[in-house]
Each structure stands twice: as structure tokens, then as C-alpha cells.
Amino acid sequence: MPSERPLVDAAGSAVEIVEVGPRDGLQNERTLVSTAAKIAYIEALVAAGARRIEATSFVHPKRVPRMADAEEVMAGVPRGDGVRYIGLVVNERGLDRALAAGVDEVNVVVVATETFSQRNQGMSVLEGLRSFSSISARARSSGLRVTATVGASFGCPFEGEVDPAAVGALVRSCVDAGADEIALADTIGVGVPSDVARLVAEVRAVTTDLPLRFHFHNTRNTGYANALTAVALGASALDSSTGGIGGCPFAPAATGNIATEDLAYALRRSGVATGLDLAALVSAAALIGGELGIVLPALLGRAGDFPAGLSPERRL
Amino acid sequence: MPSERPLVDAAGSAVEIVEVGPRDGLQNERTLVSTAAKIAYIEALVAAGARRIEATSFVHPKRVPRMADAEEVMAGVPRGDGVRYIGLVVNERGLDRALAAGVDEVNVVVVATETFSQRNQGMSVLEGLRSFSSISARARSSGLRVTATVGASFGCPFEGEVDPAAVGALVRSCVDAGADEIALADTIGVGVPSDVARLVAEVRAVTTDLPLRFHFHNTRNTGYANALTAVALGASALDSSTGGIGGCPFAPAATGNIATEDLAYALRRSGVATGLDLAALVSAAALIGGELGIVLPALLGRAGDFPAGLSPERRL
């Protein structure tokens, strides 16, 4: 039950941060970034302690031109130190490319609602599930770990509220189809901690011990509360992007992913280990923020760490 | 014990939002706002359902010129509808002015650390406590409710970490001196939910039933998680400012208070009643944001409500 592990009681645990800045972040920013800059960014992330990085997407270059250099990025990233690279894959052709490019894992998105699935994936939820099943079987036979990310798990931009039981049923199908990990995504940033608890209960009812990962956006300032709640409820991994990059270019109102450095600050102070170096994360964020020419949504880089490097005075 | 009421389990309760935009917000923005605009802002807040508003500060006009129109503001605010106005008071002269201006409550800040107390208040912690005691006695004899706000309860910009036991001892002294309510302030925005739980436990050990209020800043993106945690742990009131205004003019890095509309969104979705109208809050925020000429830190006004008014599409 959720209430057995409240948000305030996660001290002593650890969580894995999946850095999604190079993929979800850069895909959803207006400015194009060169392949060399992407590789330098990933190098900075690895130097900051990132050990699991969603590096790129193997999608048709006409559909997402920003990810057209997937092979070149993968050819240039630093190897070793236990770093694992994830490639987003949307179909069998993408899987072929991901395998050839040498990714360590694949991530496949299935969408929780029909309208969003049709609009984003061009297929029904059931067709998306069948596609996941084919990709998953081949990826696993090639020795790759496979994550099923359930998009719009917390709400849909077209259909509104999403039934947690429907998310649970979809998760069950993904597990049956061979998922090594389930990721629940609040794609449009509408959820609150009680939604996290409800979904954890639904998902745990259909899969007791599979690794559970969450993907939050801070669109309405609930992302960090959700992330801390997920950790307290036993999530093994959280997605985030350094700097909080990933505000959608087609929707200027939307803010990006929760920021890795702000998340790592909150987790460190909560007694939860991440293996990340906060100062190095802030540097990596500044690097990519400079490439993008944007004011980053992340706050730690502006405010400074605490208590090392004390904060500016404030009039009461 | 904190774990009996986790963050995820506050549904069905209610919390009072204390709107601090007209005081803490406007005092800490670079742009000066006219008295007429302050009154129009307060009228918009009342129209949005705000029923407890920190309207101004009765501090020496040379020290805080932005609050020099305290009497004029109080003379112009709408009365009735159960709206209560709070005046910040720093000394006996300020109390005289607040009484004459017709405030309903006074708020007095005591600071948890010596260095910050000296730098901000020009007195030691003990002197601050004595000052609170004098103000409190006179205010109560005039029939006003008195809040003691403990500044820097979660961390000090000069001394770093603050011992929760020291905060608890200071709270005890404030209670003995007649406080009707205790407010714990994360003045520099460094705390996380486990800090909230620790402080609640400390404070509840010295005062079991006094109303407990919290004042959070979102300086490092932990403010909303802290606020939701405080509600789950039984806080009766939370401070926030519409738009999240109050970034300190002397420290451009610092973001302001948590935003009323974003907080109200999270609480409504968590099943916690506030009595606030979200669309009207967004309008009030836009009004004051226009006066200040700033991009508001609040996100609800950019992203839109959910599910009413569905969110923009986002590519997965």
C-alpha cells in the first residue's frame, strides 16, 4: 500500500536517474544542435556520473529531423565506465538501426489512449502493443533490455482523464510481451502525487517485481513532488533532463522534463543516492543551454547548491 | 508520526491559502507598483476566492520604500465576504500603524539563526523574541490574531544547516509569548519533504494543537513537494503568491514564493479543498505580472488547466 512508504520516508534508498536530455530534451527544443555538440553534451553527462542515457531516437529522419544523426551520435559517445545507452525505437526498421548502432537498451512507447496513439504513432493502442511485442521479441533475442514506456499514463491531451485500470491492463500486456521494465509517463505534466500512488498500486497488482520507472514533466509544477513520491513508493528509476530541457517547440507553453540537477538536489537532501555530481550536472546543463540559447527551466544552477555555496541573502 | 499521513493521502481535507503576493511578492520585485494597482490586485485576489491576504508591511518607509503606502493600501481594500487582512509588523511603531490602519491580524518574523537575525532584523534571536513578545501582548489585547513566522527554519544563507531542535525551542518560546499561529518559513528555498516532516515532529512536540502554517519558496524546485507534504502532515495554512512573484531584487537568482495557482491546481487534483477559483487566480496573476513587466514563474497560466481546456499535443 502507498501509505506504508510515504514521500518523507525514502532515506537510505537509491534510485537510478535515466538522463533523457539528449533524446527527449533535444528533440523537443526549437534549436538544432550539431552532432558534435550532442556528443560533447553526452560526454559531460557521463563525467557528471550519468550511467544510463537515452541518447537518441531511431525514427524516420523526415518525421523527426533532429534525430537524423542517431548513428553518428552512437558512434561518438564514450564507452565503458558501466554507461548504458538507450535508443528510442518506434518500429522494426528503427530496431534494425538501433542494433547496428550498438545501443545497450531500447525504449518503445505505447500510448494509453486511442486518440493520442493515433495522432502520435499513427496506430491504435492495440496495434501499438503488437508493434511493441515484435520489437521486444527481436531486441531480447539480440540480448538487449527492453523498456515499455506508457505515454499519457496520467492524462491525455485529447481525451482528458485516463483510467488507471486501463493503464494497468496495458502494462500487463507489455509485461506479457516481454518488457524488462515499465516506464509510466506523465507526457503532458498533469499528475499529482496521489495519481502516482494510484498508478503504482494498479501496476503492482499486475506485475509485482518488474523494475518500475517514471517519466515526469514539470508542466504545472507538480513534477518534482511526483518524482519524490515515486521514489518513496519504490520506483527503481526516474527520467530527467539536465537543465530541464525539452519544452515542446510546437507548444511553447509546455515546459520540459524535470531537471536532473534539481531532482538530484532533492534526492540527495532526502537521503536517496543517485551517484550524480551536482556541480558537474550544472556544468553539463550550462553547456547544452548555451548550445540551445535558452534560459534553462532548472533552478539549481541559478540558486546555487546548499549548504555548500550559501544562498544569497533575502529580505524577510 | 509523519508516516501516518503521507503526501499521497490528503484527499478529503482542506487547507487555507494565505495570499502573500501583495506583501512578500511585491516587496521583493524590482518594479515599483502604484497603490492603485496594489488595490486592484487585491480586489482580483478577493474575486478569486482569497480570504486571508498579507496585504502590506508596516516597516519604516526608508527601509522598505515599496511598502511606504501601507495605510493607503489598507484604506482601499475591499471589506466583507469574510476576508481577513494581515499586516507584517517589525516593531511597536509598526504595530501602532497596523492597529490604526485596521488590519485583522499581524505577522511578526523571528529568525532562527543569529547571523541572519542580526543582518535582517538588526537584533539577536533573543531580542527578536522579546520584540515578538511585546508586539504580541499588545496586539492580542487589541483583539488581533498574531502569527509568529520563524524565518530560515529550513536553512540559513549565512550559517548553513539549521538544527530542527533549535527551531522547536524558538517555536516554544513564541507559543509562550502568545502566538495564535506558527508559520515555518523556508526563506531561501532549500528544504525537502523529509525536512518538513522533521520540523512538524519538532513543533508538534512543543505545541500540539496550535495552527501550523508554512511558507515555501521554490528556489530549487522543491517548494510544491514541500507544500503538499505539509498539508498531508496536518498544516492548516500555506503561504503562496499569485504568479509566484517575489524573486528578490537583490538576488536575481532567487525565484519567488510558490505560486498560488499552481499550488491550488495540485491541491484540487489531490482532493484538498482551498475555495479558490483557478481561472480567476490566473487572471489576477496576469494582472500583477503585467504591472511588474515580468514573465511569471507560475506555470498553470502558460500550460492551461486540466482536464478542462486540454493541453497542447506533445510529440512522444
Residue A251 region, left (φ>0) first, then alpha (ψ -120 to 50), else beta? beta
> B7–A225: do the CB atoms touch at under 8 Å?
yes
What CA–CA distance (Å, rounded) separates A158 from A173?
A: 23
Whether pLDDT at A315 is above 70: no
A100 to chain B nearest CA, in Å?
A: 23
* HEC string for chain B: CHHHCCCCCCCCCECEEEECHHHHHHHCCCCCCCHHHHHHHHHHHHHCCCCEEEEEEECCCCCCHHHCCHHHHHHHCCCCCCCEEEEEECCHHHHHHHHHHCCCEEEEEEECCHHHHHHHHCCCHHHHHHHHHHHHHHHHHCCCEEEEEEECCCCECCCECCCHHHHHHHHHHHHHCCCCEEEEEECCCCCCHHHHHHHHHHHHHHCCCCCEEEEEECCCCCHHHHHHHHHHCCCCEEEEEHHHCCCCCCCCCCCCECEHHHHHHHHHHCCCECCCCHHHHHHHHHHHHHHHCCCCCCCHHHHCCCCCCCCCCCCC
pLDDT of residue A91: 96
pLDDT of residue A70: 98
What CA–CA distance (Å, rounded) separates B213 from B235?
A: 6
Looking at residue A30, its amino acid is R
- Residues ≥6 apart with Cβ < 8 Å to B143: none
Among A146, A145, A225, CA closest to B7: A225
- The average pLDDT across A118-130 equals 95
What CA–CA distance (Å, rounded) separates A169 from A161?
A: 16
Q: Say if B240 is an interface residue toward chain A (CB within 8 Å).
A: no
pLDDT, averaged across chain A: 92
pLDDT of residue A3: 38
Whether pLDDT at A312 is above 80: no
Decide: residue A145, CB within 10 A, 0-12 exposed, 13-18 middle, 19+ buried.
middle
Q: Retrieve residue A13's grid coordinates.
A: 534508498
Whether pLDDT at A59 is above 50: yes
Per-residue model confidence as pLDDT tens digits over A92-104: 999 999 999 999 9
B262 to chain A nearest CA, in Å?
A: 6
Decide: residue A267, CB within 10 A, 0-12 exposed, 13-18 middle, 19+ buried.
buried
Nearest to A311 among B190, B298, B303 (CB): B190
pLDDT of residue B254: 56
| A156 flagged as catalytic | no
Nearest to B251 among A109, A253, A314 (CB): A314
Given the residues B37, B248, B294, B299, select the one marked as catalytic.
B248
Peptide bond preceding A164: is omega within 30 degrees of 0, i.e. cis? no
Kindly report which listed range (A184-198, A302-316, B231-245) carries the lowest average pLDDT score: A302-316
**In chain B, what residues touch A9 (CB-CB under 8 Å)?**
2-3, 6, 194, 197
Report the DSSP pairing between strands B145-151 and A16-19.
unpaired
Per-residue model confidence as pLDDT tens digits over A268-307: 999 999 999 999 999 999 999 999 998 899 999 999 999 8
pLDDT of residue B7: 57
- Residues ≥6 apart with Cβ < 8 Å to B1: B201
Kindly report which listed range (A58-62, A228-232, B203-207) carries the lowest average pLDDT score: B203-207
What CA–CA distance (Å, rounded) separates B54 from B20?
A: 5
Residue A164 region, left (φ>0) first, then alpha (ψ -120 to 50), else beta? alpha
Residues of chain B predicted below pLDDT 70: 1-9, 248-254, 308-316
Q: Retrieve residue B138's grid coordinates.
A: 499588545
Answer whether B259's CB lies under 8 Å from B299's CB: yes
Please report the residues numbered 21 through 80 in chain A whose beta carbons come closer than 8 angstroms to any beta carbon of chain B: 27-28, 64
pLDDT of residue B2: 34
pLDDT of residue B308: 66
Q: Say if B153 is an interface residue toward chain A (CB within 8 Å).
A: no
pLDDT of residue A208: 72
- Residues ≥6 apart with Cβ < 8 Å to B101: B58, B70, B71, B74, B75, B87
A178 secondary structure, DSSP code: T
Domains delineated in chain B: 2-303 (3.20.20.70)
Answer whether A203's CB lies under 8 Å from A149's CB: no
Q: How far apart are the first and last CA of chain A?
A: 41
Whether pLDDT at A238 is above 90: yes
pLDDT of residue A191: 97
Q: Say if A193 is an interface residue toward chain B (CB within 8 Å).
A: yes
Nearest to B307 among A155, A192, A259 (CB): A155
Whether pLDDT at A310 is above 60: no
Whether pLDDT at A88 is above 90: yes
Given the residues A166, A175, A201, A248, select the one marked as catalytic.
A248
pLDDT of residue B128: 97
Size of interface A-B (CB pairs under 8 A): 268
Please report the residues numbered 154 through 183 in chain A whose beta carbons come closer than 8 angstroms to any beta carbon of chain B: 155-158, 160-161
What CA–CA distance (Å, rounded) separates A249 from A31?
A: 9
